[in-house]
Amino acid sequence: MEIRPLSPQDVPTIWRINEEGLPGTGQVSEDGIVELLELATLPMGAYVEGELAGFVICLPPRTRYGSLNYAWFNENYEEFLYVDRIAVAESHRNLGIGSVLYQMVAEQAEKEGCPVAAEVSLKPPNPDSMRFHHRHGFMEVGVLHHEDKSVTMMLRLGD
């Protein structure tokens, strides 16, 4: 497995992997992915035999990104590394790819001296993601209710 920055050529595959992760990943268009890559401070992919198998896209605070979940972290925290989305292709799940990507995110946040921020769907529930985040040291710091869903806001502080 090779970890390297995502590129514009990866957008169709990022979109496909993101679609496989719905509803947990949150739907986004290919244009939305392009915008996320432009705003991202840590857009990384895990490649297996040259094929994108998983990715993580992280944003710094106070970009123009319009997500209500991201806005919540901006209102409540000065510094953080926001995991907008992390997803692994169905064909490559349960191989540790998500853990490798999150370890890289944790190391970057450690270098920056800030927590990692993320959210997990509460309604509809996403128990697999909740277990994954708890296993990686995240703690619940709030709940944000939207019209048709709710999310648990989570932080991972440094080691």
- If residue 107 lies in a helix (H) or strand (E), which one and from where to where? helix 97-112
- In this model, does residue 30 exceed pLDDT 90? yes
Supply the pLDDT for residue 129.
Answer: 87
Supply the pLDDT for residue 157.
Answer: 86
For the chain, where are the E strands, in sequence order? 2-5, 42-48, 51-59, 81-88, 116-123, 139-145, 150-156
pTM, full prediction? 0.92
Torsion of CA 103, 68, 41, 119, to 10 degrees: 0
**Hey, how many other C-beta atoms are within 10 angstroms of the C-beta on 79?**
13
Residue range 60-93, pLDDT digits in tens: 999 999 999 999 999 999 999 999 999 999 999 9
Residues shown for the chain: 159
State the amino acid at position 65 in one-letter form.
Y
Residue predicted with more confidence, 117 or 126:
117
Domains along the chain with CATH numbers: 2-116 (3.40.630.30)
SS3 63: coil
* CB 24 within 8 Å of CB 1: no
